[in-house]
Structure 1
Amino acid sequence: MTLIPTQTAPALDLPLVGGGTTDDLKLGTGDGGRFSLVVFYRGLHCPICRKQLAEINKRIEDLKAAGIGQVAAVSMETLERSSRVVDQWHLADLPVAYGLGEEAARSWGLNLSHAIKDGEPDLFNEPGIFILDEDGTLFWSSTATMPFGRPSLDDVIAGVRYAQEHDYPARGAA
């Protein structure tokens, strides 16, 4: 299933490490800035995810300055493994949601993989980055079938700034 720009993003009501739910974040509402950033990561076993989420955690203020008011990292991981992600990766400022189900992952258009080595969950989502507009629709996305090849955070920030400064619409819905 492919999520098309301008379509309403699927519901995302998941628990957050430390309490609360993704509903509390008001993703896709324009609260705190026009855009929301939802980053789907593979899990505790992924060193590339660790690097990506650590950078996002450090650059929350840069994201806000660019117009991204809400940010969340999401995976199919358990509470225990997600808590380890937050603690071991030092993600004090980045909300981390866990427990994404297979059907929900597919509704976002994520690719799924089965474990091929020790330390990987039996089934997990591959990476995806989604920018939601203030009306809850998909503005921009990038998904991958492998852990590598993700857009840089600088490119995401530059793209969001450009879209706002030039009233650039969501593309790819034709």
Structure 2
Amino acid sequence: MSLQQKLDAFKGGKPPYNAPPEIHPIMERATAELIASGQAGRAIKAGDRAPQFDLNDQNGHPVSSADLLAQGPLVITFYRGVWCPYCNIELQALNDVLPQIRALGANVVAISPQTSVNSRKSVRDNSLDFPVLSDEKGETGAAFGLRFALPDYLVALYKKLKNDLPAFNDDPSWTLPMPARYVIGQDGVVLYSEVNPDYTHRPEPTDMIAVLEKAAGRA
């Protein structure tokens, strides 16, 4: 089953996945408004220079994009948080292709506004072999053009669902990054980008392999 098929199954409530169907109209309204805002088109994209970052991983250890790029290309996925089932399904799919990615000399990191404690839970619950970095106050997400503020009616829904973002993120702002995936070349230039304001749609992890093969001189 492809990643998108798994996401669609969750959205449709088909076993072994499930999602409360009554939340869909509210979430779809928010997604439509985010799409209409045009923010995704203004985010960092292929051909741009990627913002540098220095963030802590789930264990509080510093991780530098410059250090990672010195080793090879870098795959980044922007992750909303441990509370987001769509994001967790995506992280598991990325972990499945991690051996292929590393065989091409690349590293993978997830970047989330959540605290290190919640990032440790993400790594543990999803059995990840790559780090989840804590983007305090969403500053790296903002540098990539991905951070947006949730509308009031969506904040109300999140509170009802016990998705307490201020607690998860140690940040009162009720902001999130749009889901996004990037491949950054060793020169810091973005080789691949996929930004989608619809959190229920994610690119297949294998979509990046040809880009990484080219970066490794194998294509």
TM over 0.5: yes
Instruction: Please tell me the residue identity of whatever aligns with 1:148.
Output: T
Q: Name the SS of the counterpart of 2:68 in structure 1.
A: coil
Distance in 2 between the 1:48 and 1:113 partners?
19
Distance in 2 between the 1:153 and 1:89 partners?
16
TM-score (norm 1): 0.80
Alignment of 1:119 onto 2:160: no
Q: Which runs of 5+ in 1 are unaligned?
A: 167-174
Cα distance, 1:26 vs. partner?
2.4
Instruction: Please tell me the residue identity of whatever aligns with 1:2.
Output: A
Q: Aligned match of 1:109 in 136, 145, 161?
A: 145
- CA offset digits 1:98-142 (Å, max 9, x no partner): 134334312102142424322151322121101100111211111
* Contact 2:77 2:182 survives alignment (8 Å): yes
Equivalent residue, structure 1, for 2:195: 143
- CA offset digits 1:55-105 (Å, max 9, x no partner): 22232211122x2521101100112221211122222x1111013433431
Q: Aligned match of 1:2 in 43, 66, 70?
A: 43
Distance in 1 between the 2:133 and 2:184 partners?
17
Distance in 2 between the 1:39 and 1:19 partners?
19
Report how many residues are paired.
161
Q: Aligned match of 1:133 in 185, 191, 195?
A: 185
Among all aligned residue pairs of Structure 1 and Structure 2, give the percentage whose two residues are the same amino acid. Answer: 25
CA-based RMSD of the aligned residues comes to 2.3
- CA distance 1:126–1:7, shift in 2 (3 Å): closer
Q: Aligned match of 1:21 in 62, 71, 80?
A: 62
Distance in 1 between the 2:45 and 2:210 partners?
22
Q: Higher helix fraction: Structure 1 or Structure 2?
A: 2
- CA distance 1:120–1:128, shift in 2 (3 Å): farther
Choose 1 or 2 for highest CA Rg. Answer: 2
Alignment of 1:155 onto 2:207: yes
Distance in 1 between the 2:208 and 2:107 partners?
14
Equivalent residue, structure 1, for 2:126: 89
Distance in 1 between the 2:133 and 2:197 partners?
21
Equivalent residue, structure 2, for 1:171: none
Q: Which moved more, 1:149-158 or 1:127-136?
A: 149-158
Equivalent residue, structure 2, for 1:60: 98
Instruction: Please tell me the residue identity of whatever aligns with 1:56.
Output: L
Q: Which moved more, 1:9-18 or 1:95-104?
A: 95-104
4+ aligned runs moved over 6 Å, structure 1: none
Q: Which runs of 5+ in 2 are unaligned?
A: 1-41, 166-173
Cα distance, 1:4 vs. partner?
4.3
Cα distance, 1:5 vs. partner?
3.2
Distance in 1 between the 2:45 and 2:178 partners?
18
Distance in 2 between the 1:68 and 1:142 partners?
21
TM-score (norm 2): 0.65
Instruction: Please tell me the residue identity of whatever aligns with 1:109.
Output: G
Equivalent residue, structure 2, for 1:46: 84
